[in-house]
Every structure is written in structure tokens, then in C-alpha cells.
Copies of this chain bind each other. A is one copy, B any other.
Amino acid sequence: MTEISKAAIIGAGVIGAGWAARMALAGIDVTVFDPHPSTERVVGEVMANATRAFARLTTAPLPPVGRIGFAATIEEAVKDTDVIQESVPERLELKRGVLNQIDRFARPDALIGSSTSGLLPSDLQIEMTHPDRLIVAHPFNPVYLLPIVEIVGGKLTSAATIDRAKAVYAGIGMKGVPIAREIEAFVGDRLLESMWREALWLIKDDICDVETLDDIMRYGFGLRWAQMGMFQTYRIAGGEAGMRHFIAQFGPCLKWPWTKYTDVPEMDDELVDKIASQSDAQAGGLGIRDLERIRDDNLVAILQALKGGDEGRGWGAGKLLGEFEAGLWARAKASDAPLDVTRPLLLHQVRVNPAWIDYNGHMTEFRYLQVMADATDALLRVIGIDAETAAAGSSYYTVETHIRHLAEAKLGAALTVETQVLLGEGKRLHLFHTVLGADGTRHATGEHMLIHVGAGKPCDPAPPVAQRLAAIAAGHAALPKPAAAGRAVGQPK
């Protein structure tokens, strides 16, 4: 993970604001320049959406949110920043003028990315004094959730800049893919445009309406593309005979009658009206804010689903999310603050996720144990046990749990877990968690016995772990024992 600490966002519509939000959530201080009067409102709205999405996306310890400031000039925004992202409207002269100013006032070693959807980096960098550090870094909306960035260098861009850009975007959880040769619209928008053109013909000619077309994507091939794209999917379609067989079988189709739909349809009022009214019908009364919320929740859920892909190793965008989280954990470990062991520990906070709700509208029972287990993991990391030590053969396993459900938790509720160590001695770790709501409501308690296992057998943990645990246990020994500890199911109070 490359550490950058300061970034500038020049142009803050939905795309620029999305960059600002993703960077701030990765702990980077961001300075925004955009003379538009609604800039602060737009950035605030996008940041609110992004914050909401990230609270559901990961329980890894996000760094303190970076500061988002607003500058009055490009000079003020870009001076002394590590990375500058330009996202002004798609007009060559405008972008060139803005990039020239950025180039003039930024440190010569600052990375400059342009969010352009289609202009050539060679055309953008031509008047710059340090054109070698200019790339196109083209993201997709919503920038704070979709991890892709197309990285395109121009004739004057250095190879080192491409490498550095990949590292910088990886540091904010993104996948930068270099495009080998610059062409207008690069790769992503070429693909989108080709299908968009075809779709417009289908609507214009009344073959189907926009809802049917979207349904064919989202109940059909969209589910394949979200995980494998097009070529890998077709590789499977080719079967054991592989790609060559697939192309031999389907290549000729390209010459069949349906390739006639390659003209560009006229965007007359009639077509615009047709699409707009069909789209209204499809939305079924859901406003843009509703659709954004649903889209973001679905993206979060799909990313999390893919994180468990390939038998837990993660797949595609979900694997990337797992790697981002591993980096966050590693960072959190390095910055552990001393603990106050004179009171129960507060190591885990989370919001009730839509996927956790049962048919009664409340958080479903096994999700309470998930929250408690995450709190246990947080404690284990504090004493020096994590995925890394587990891989090396040392970990704690839960052998016994007692849960009491005291009050229902609803969608979106903020939960905090209070953790008391009842015993931390030898191979045994005896814990008591209390799941608290924002208003102090006790939603549930969990009592847990864990056993340390090393090299496949129960045994004492390594001395540094034992010492850290003993220090907490010693502090907590002075606390009153929770009334529910030692309780069996159905035992009278």
C-alpha cells in the first residue's frame, strides 16, 4: 500500500466528488477546487453516500477520515499535494488549460490523473512543463465503490508514472489497469458505447422496452460479467476445446444479418421521449436517491459475496476488497494505542446491515454471534493473534458460547461491543461481550470460552501473547463479574 497523505480534486461533480470521498475514507486529506456554487453540497452528499456504503462494506479498521477542505484557486488546492485528480467537463481546451495550471503549481513529483472518459492523454499533456507525470485515470461511477481505473499514458508519460499510479490507486482500494495504446474512449467506454448504440436501436424499433432490456442484462449475462467479464465467460462456453473452439463456432455469427445495427440512431425528440417515459415507468416511483441507495447496497453485497469466492480465497473485485482490508488491518496493528484495562474494552463497532435482517424486520439471531465473534477477533488482534499467526499455526478457537437476546436491533442501528476478559490464563480465554446500541440499550450478551491451539493441539500461547492477555485479565479482575456469566439456558434469574 503506497502511502499518500494529501490529494487535490480539481472539478467536483459526481466523479470528482466520488474521488474525494474514496480518498478521504482511505485517510487522505483532500483539497477540492471547483468554482461551481453547489460544490460543497455535492461533495457533502457524495461523501454521505460513500460513508454509508463503507460502513456496510467492511468491518476492517478504516483510518481516521481524511479532512476535506475547499480551496479558492487551483494553486491553493494543488500546492504540496502528492496526487491531483482532474475531473472537469469533457472539453479539450478547458481540460488543457486546467491541467496546465495544475502542472505549474504542483510539486514536480506530484502525480496528475485526468478522469476524462475519452480524450487522449497525448493531447492533454502537450503544453505541460512536466508532462511525464500526467496520466488518464478513468474511473466509473460510483467511484467510491467500483474499484476499476483505466490508466492511460500519453506519448510523453514515463513508464515510472504508470507504475506509481498503479500503486497509488491500490492504496485506496482500486485496481488500476494500464491500457497498452491510447485511443479515444480507451476500452471501457468503447465497450459501453457499442452496447448503448445497439440498445438505442432496439428501443427505437420497439423490439423491447428499457425495462425488458435491463432485465435481460440483470437476470442474465450481467451476472456473469460481474465476476468474469466476457472472454473468460466465453472460454467456459468453449468447453474443454477452449477459446479457439468457441471462436470457430461463434465467429461467423458476426457476419449474420444482425450486424446491420451498426449505424448511429438519430437522437430525435421522439426517441428521447420514448426512452425517458419508459425509464420513468421502470423506476416505478423510486427517486434517484432511492436508486443510489439500492445500487450502493447491492454493490456492497456483491463485493462481499465475491470476497468469499474461489472457496474463501476471494475472486475479482472481492479479492481486491480482501487485500484492501488486509492492508487496513496491518496498518491498525502498527498503530495500536495503549489500552485502558481498568474498564471493559470497546474494540468493535458496526451498523446493522440490510443482509442481516430477518422476515420480522430485526437483526437475525446468528448475526449477533457474528458481531460478537468480530469483537473477539478484535481482542485477539490486540493480544497479537491474527490471520498471520493462524497461518503460522497459533490461534484461539471458540469451544463454548452462551448468548442472551435482550432487545431487538433494527436496520442501520449502530452497535458497539463492550468486552470483559473473565479469565486469560494458560490455554484458556474466557470472555464476556455486551452488544450495546447508540442509546446504551443492551441488545445482547455473549459469554465465550476459547482455547489456544498451536501446531494443531491445545497449548499455552507464546509468552508475548500470554503477557498482553494477562495484563488485560489483571485489569479486568477488579471489575464486577457480569450477573449473566456462568448462567445456563433456562436457569431462573
Decide: A181 near B193, CB < 8 A? Known: A231-B282, A279-B242. Answer: no
Chain B residues near A193: list those with CB within 8 A.
Answer: 198, 253-254, 258-259
Chain B residues near A399: list those with CB within 8 A.
Answer: 404-405
**Does A369 count as interface, using CB distance less than 8 angstroms?**
yes
* Per-residue B-contact encoding for A187-198, CB less than 8 Å = 1, 0 else: 111111111111
* Per-residue B-contact encoding for A207-231, CB less than 8 Å = 1, 0 else: 1111111111111111111111111
| Closest chain B residue to A358, Cβ basis | B312
- Judge whether B253 and A118 touch: CB under 8 Å: yes
- Judge whether B258 and A184 touch: CB under 8 Å: yes
Chain B nearest CB, measured from A11 CB (Å): 15
**Does A315 count as interface, using CB distance less than 8 angstroms?**
yes
Which residues of chain A from 355 to 376 have any CB-CB distance to chain B below 8 Å in the complex? 355, 357-361, 364-367, 369-370, 372-373
Which residues of chain A from 304 to 325 have any CB-CB distance to chain B below 8 Å in the complex? 304-306, 308-312, 315-317, 320
Chain B residues near A295: list those with CB within 8 A.
Answer: 224, 227-228, 233, 236
- Judge whether A187 and B206 touch: CB under 8 Å: no
Decide: A187 near B175, CB < 8 A? Known: A288-B240, A310-B294. Answer: no
Among A148, A261, A423, find the residue whose CB has the most chain B CB atoms closer than 10 A: A148
* Per-residue B-contact encoding for A473-493, CB less than 8 Å = 1, 0 else: 000000000000111111100
Q: Of A70-78, A330-338, A390-398, which binds chain B? A: A390-398
* Per-residue B-contact encoding for A254-269, CB less than 8 Å = 1, 0 else: 1111110111110100
Q: Of A1-9, A97-105, A243-251, which binds chain B? A: A243-251
- Judge whether A490 and B298 touch: CB under 8 Å: no
- Judge whether A355 and B402 touch: CB under 8 Å: no
**Does A150 count as interface, using CB distance less than 8 angstroms?**
yes
Query: How many copies altogether?
Result: 2
Which residues of chain A from 68 to 98 have any CB-CB distance to chain B below 8 Å in the complex? none
- Judge whether A232 and B369 touch: CB under 8 Å: no
Chain B residues near A224: list those with CB within 8 A.
Answer: 140, 146, 295, 299
Chain B residues near A366: list those with CB within 8 A.
Answer: 366-367, 369-370, 372-373
* Per-residue B-contact encoding for A270-313, CB less than 8 Å = 1, 0 else: 00100110111011000010011011011101111110111110
Chain B nearest CB, measured from A172 CB (Å): 14
- Judge whether B294 and A301 touch: CB under 8 Å: no
| Closest chain B residue to A245, Cβ basis | B276
- Judge whether A213 and B239 touch: CB under 8 Å: no
Chain B residues near A185: list those with CB within 8 A.
Answer: 256, 258
Which residues of chain A from 154 to 213 have any CB-CB distance to chain B below 8 Å in the complex? 175, 177-181, 183-200, 202, 205-213
Alpha-carbon distance between A186 and B244 when the two chains are bound, in angstroms: 26
Decide: A207 near B187, CB < 8 A? Known: A146-B223, A402-B402. Answer: yes
- Judge whether B398 and A365 touch: CB under 8 Å: yes
Query: B195, B206, B218, B243: which contacts A227 (Cβ < 8 A)?
Result: B218
Alpha-carbon distance between A279 and B262 when the two chains are bound, in angstroms: 27
Decide: A227 near B305, CB < 8 A? Known: A140-B221, A187-B202, A212-B179. Answer: no
Chain B residues near A403: list those with CB within 8 A.
Answer: 369, 400-403
Decide: A317 near B219, CB < 8 A? Known: A247-B276, A288-B240, A306-B298. Answer: yes
Query: B230, B320, B489: which contacts A217 (Cβ < 8 A)?
Result: B230
- Judge whether A214 and B229 touch: CB under 8 Å: yes
Query: B252, B278, B401: which contacts A401 (Cβ < 8 A)?
Result: B401
**Does A430 count as interface, using CB distance less than 8 angstroms?**
yes
Alpha-carbon distance between A231 and B244 when the two chains are bound, in angstroms: 33
Query: B369, B397, B411, B486: which contacts A312 (Cβ < 8 A)?
Result: B411
| Closest chain B residue to A203, Cβ basis | B231
